[in-house]
């Protein structure tokens, strides 16, 4: 399970994004950015997402 605190990349975002894969977190983070009105994801934003993403042990709980 991978996790990204959205506020660490996109100011004003209150979500913690979780997915089984790194790619899944990135996809969800981009969708969240679009929902926040961010239309262009810069290379530095992508780098920030990758750097701030953490791997968490599986807890049995499913996240949205």
17 phi and psi angles, rounded to 5 deg: -95, 130
What b/e readout covers 29-51, taking b as 16+ CB neighbours within 10 angstroms?
bbebbeeeeeeebeeebeebbee
51 phi and psi angles, rounded to 5 deg: -70, -35
Q: Give the model's pLDDT for residue 58.
A: 75
pLDDT, tens digit, 9 for 90 and up, residues 6-60: 999 998 888 999 999 999 999 999 999 999 999 999 999 999 999 999 999 876 6
5 and 62 Cβ atoms separated by less than 8 Å = no
């Amino acid at each position: 399970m991978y996790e990204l605190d959205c506020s660490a990349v996109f100011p004003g975002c209150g979500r913690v994004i979780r997915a089984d894969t790194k790619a899944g977190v990135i996809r969800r983070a981009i969708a969240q950015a679009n929902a926040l009105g961010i239309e262009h994801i810069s290379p530095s934003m992508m780098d920030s997402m990758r750097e701030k993403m953490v791997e968490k042990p599986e807890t049995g709980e499913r996240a949205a």
